[in-house]
Amino acid sequence: MCLWRIKKVGKIFSDDGKELLRILENLINGFEINGEFPSVKRSIKQFDFDDVYTDILDYHEHIIDRRDEYDNYIFKNVLSGNEIIDRYKAEDSLRYKWNKNLESGRRLFEVCNDPWAIRIITNITEDDLKGEIDNIICLANELKYKIDVVNFYENPKLDGYRGVHLYFKNNKKCYPIEVQFWTRRDWFLQRYTHEVIYKQSYEKSAIDYSNNLRDWVDNIPLSPLGLDSFIDYYYEVINSINYD
């Protein structure tokens, strides 16, 4: 996992993300899924999990060997108040997701849509974040890059999860790259709900509890001008802890 915390305020990227789009497209276009696999539009029931994860490990190696340009971009172009985290999908995490979707027969490209994922956590407002994402989508359209958008602000998950996910999919023969956007308020809730509720319990009582937490977070009052906010304070405190 790579973590960048760079300080300035206002937007996310100094160049509105244009160069990032090019870098991600180059990473996607340089890899092809195992040619012996059935179509990625087929149900995961027609695939062997171990074979798929072996292929994903090859994809991880592809990213690792070619990520210097990405790292340099993040270091130079991410503005203050924004944090960029990326992760490689672990075997146990994908197996959990696989088994969860096996009975319904979801397709491979739906289940393996985030083997390498980027999360952007920002202290700009939700409205400003939507504007930033709209700019990225417009740039992608101009460059003829294929991006799927899943907007969980407009249609939150049952447990109250919010955010926006972009899936970079220019190469049909490669796994997508997922980019998630969260505000710090989203992070404040969703670090807990993902680890505890999504991975441990999906009973109605747990979902109700998650939604009650979301209501509580949404109603935390804004701080007076010039005073550090409650959310920002705990965000900085928690992220300053060294777990090594």
Residue-wise pLDDT for 25-47, tens only, equals 999 999 999 999 999 999 999 99
User: Residue 52: its pLDDT value, please?
Assistant: 98
- Please identify every stretch of the chain with a pLDDT value under 70, giving residue numbers as ranges: 1-10, 198-202, 242-244
CB 207 within 8 A of CB 158: yes
Per-residue pLDDT at 89 = 97
pLDDT of residue 207: 86
The per-residue pLDDT for 112 is 97
The one-letter amino acid at 81: G
Per residue in 44-92, pLDDT tens?
A: 999 999 999 999 999 999 999 999 999 999 999 999 999 999 999 999 9
pLDDT at 6: 40
pLDDT for 204:
83
User: Which CATH number is 2-183 given?
Assistant: 3.30.460
Q: Which residue has the tokens 């490209």?
A: 109
Q: How much is the pLDDT for 19? A: 95
DSSP string for residues in the chain: -EEEEE---S-SBTTTTHHHHHHHHHHHHT----TTS--TTSBGGGS-HHHHHHHHHHHHHHHHHT-HHHHHHHHHHBPTTEEEEEEEPPHHHHHHHHHHHHTTT-BHHHHSS-SEEEEEEE-S-HHHHHHHHHHHHHHHHHTT--EEEEETTTS--TT----EEEEE-S-TTS--EEEEEEEHHHHHHHHHIIIIIIHH---HHHHHHHHHHHHHHHTSPPPPTTS--HHHHHHHHHHT----
Where do the structural domains in the chain lie, given as residue ranges? 2-183
Q: Are 55 and 33 in contact (CB under 8 A)?
A: yes
pLDDT in the model for residue 8: 38
